[in-house]
Structure 1
């Protein structure tokens, strides 16, 4: 079995954007970047992000192509981006390294030009935020835009790290395809069968799977627009539109969840 190399990007905060630093480690190579260094990086430039997922409008950022910081990472590697609140997005390295189509950027909050708060009384998306140009070209989902970025590291694939997430070998094609949808859209916030790295949202199988307590089409409606069913100002789950999660993909995800409701287990 391949032992994955480690790439970690640790965000150390001193309470303000100007105190932030990134430590990049790949194998035996390590480098620490201060905010000011990243802002002055040779490839840093001002970019415009249309329909920013977090701010829901066009935003302009000083940013560096993320690929330029991922020295030693190969296209076949699997990466995980972790935010300060425990949000953990699973990302194929090939998507982050791409220079055509969807392109990943590390946006850096400038101390003299702070970004707006994400909501009244909330902090900004800074000091570091993974943003995308042409996300539709890579089918980049909203969970793949981690803000307040704390760590990026190479890991073994999800199926290898957490076998208790796997559907049965004789599961139907819909359930098998739904496992990929779960990894892309749900694992950033949720665990299942107590498996996963996120510490953000509730487990989706223990003690109960949402397919067990949402009747009719209410689970699909909840995924599309959580606030339409549970009016909760503190709710942080985003809605997934048909452009982000198609009806076909939604059916696959629901098939996976229904299948896993019969495969309850916990990590040893």
Structure 2
């Protein structure tokens, strides 16, 4: 019992001490949970279709634009979660005044959010959520939870040339590259390029297009557990609402193209 009480005290102290790091070109600012909860623009919002909780949720939240002083629509940001998930986010989407609106939801240590699943933590202490997400085609990978820091970076193309398709690649392949950035890059690297530490590389040593035959890769993207069922599987399925049939083909076209553009040697013994 004493050990349990001590653990609860440690968790409580950790929640109250939660810090969000924001690294922008103009400098770094750390925000505590209490500072954000009392922010002048904080308000209660309703999320009708929460991507992570799969149910309506209410949050105390701040418009993410209120925390991005000096950022302009042409800039690029990245939200990094505690588990290494790294969502690439065009600033124009985060700053938009019309369509989907981005909010930073803040978990109140005195009123913690429910766990995401049995034996799992909550989405806190910080969670990027959206009102009216369909208006701007916001995908599930653009809802990072357990966010630890937000940072301003150069674009993906500038930071990771190993991800670029050939200049003369088709329009479909270039469209697939954009879809890869939106839907895959938060969890995966490709050719060793990317910031995520969450999922496996999608080209080294082998592209999934090299070992999934027939329609199995399409099925896997739509419903991963329909092919590989295991309790710890964390890849979400990408429905037609998130990735329509044409976009799915464009994404696979990009992966097939990059399978011919491996830029890192296959490790010995693999």
- TM-score computed with the length of structure 1 as normaliser: 0.92
Distance 1:212 1:204, change over 3 A: same
**1:18 CA drift (Å):** 1.1
**1:31 CA drift (Å):** 3.2
**1:21 CA drift (Å):** 1.9
Distance 1:251 1:15, change over 3 A: farther
Q: What CA distance in whole angstroms lies between the structure 2 residues aligned with 1:25 and 1:161?
A: 17
**1:27 CA drift (Å):** 3.5
- TM-score computed with the length of structure 2 as normaliser: 0.91
Report the counterpart of residue 70 of structure 1 in structure 2: 68
**1:15 CA drift (Å):** 5.9
- The secondary structure found in structure 2 opposite 1:179 is helix
Report the counterpart of residue 207 of structure 2 in structure 1: 209
Report the counterpart of residue 106 of structure 1 in structure 2: 104
- The secondary structure found in structure 2 opposite 1:79 is strand
Report the counterpart of residue 8 of structure 2 in structure 1: none
Contact 1:195 1:266 in 2 (8 A): no
Distance 1:27 1:192, change over 3 A: closer
- The secondary structure found in structure 2 opposite 1:117 is coil
Q: What CA distance in whole angstroms lies between the structure 1 residues aligned with 2:23 and 2:219?
A: 42
Count the aligned residue pairs.
255
Report the counterpart of residue 160 of structure 1 in structure 2: 158
| 1:137-164 CA-partner distances (Å, limit 9, x unpaired) | 1111100000000111111111111111
Report the counterpart of residue 18 of structure 2 in structure 1: 20
Q: What CA distance in whole angstroms lies between the structure 2 residues aligned with 1:207 and 1:29?
A: 38
Contact 1:21 1:33 in 2 (8 A): yes
Report the counterpart of residue 130 of structure 2 in structure 1: 132
Q: What CA distance in whole angstroms lies between the structure 2 residues aligned with 1:233 and 1:163?
A: 35
| 1:63-110 CA-partner distances (Å, limit 9, x unpaired) | 011101111111100111110111011110010011221000000001
**1:127 CA drift (Å):** 0.4
- The secondary structure found in structure 1 opposite 2:88 is strand
Q: What CA distance in whole angstroms lies between the structure 2 residues aligned with 1:68 and 1:25?
A: 14
Report the counterpart of residue 7 of structure 1 in structure 2: none
| 1:99-144 CA-partner distances (Å, limit 9, x unpaired) | 2210000000011110010110010000000000011111111000
Report the counterpart of residue 179 of structure 1 in structure 2: 177
Q: What CA distance in whole angstroms lies between the structure 2 residues aligned with 1:79 and 1:24?
A: 10
Contact 2:22 2:149 in 1 (8 A): no
| 1:149-191 CA-partner distances (Å, limit 9, x unpaired) | 0111111111111111111112122111100000000000000
Report the counterpart of residue 231 of structure 2 in structure 1: 233
**1:16 CA drift (Å):** 2.6
- The secondary structure found in structure 1 opposite 2:168 is coil
**1:30 CA drift (Å):** 4.0
Greater helix share, 1 or 2?
Answer: 2
Q: What CA distance in whole angstroms lies between the structure 2 residues aligned with 1:66 and 1:168?
A: 35
Please tell me the root mean square deviation across aligned C-alpha atoms, in Å.
Answer: 1.5
Q: What CA distance in whole angstroms lies between the structure 1 residues aligned with 2:146 and 2:128?
A: 9
Contact 2:49 2:55 in 1 (8 A): yes
Moved more, 170-179 or 253-262: 170-179
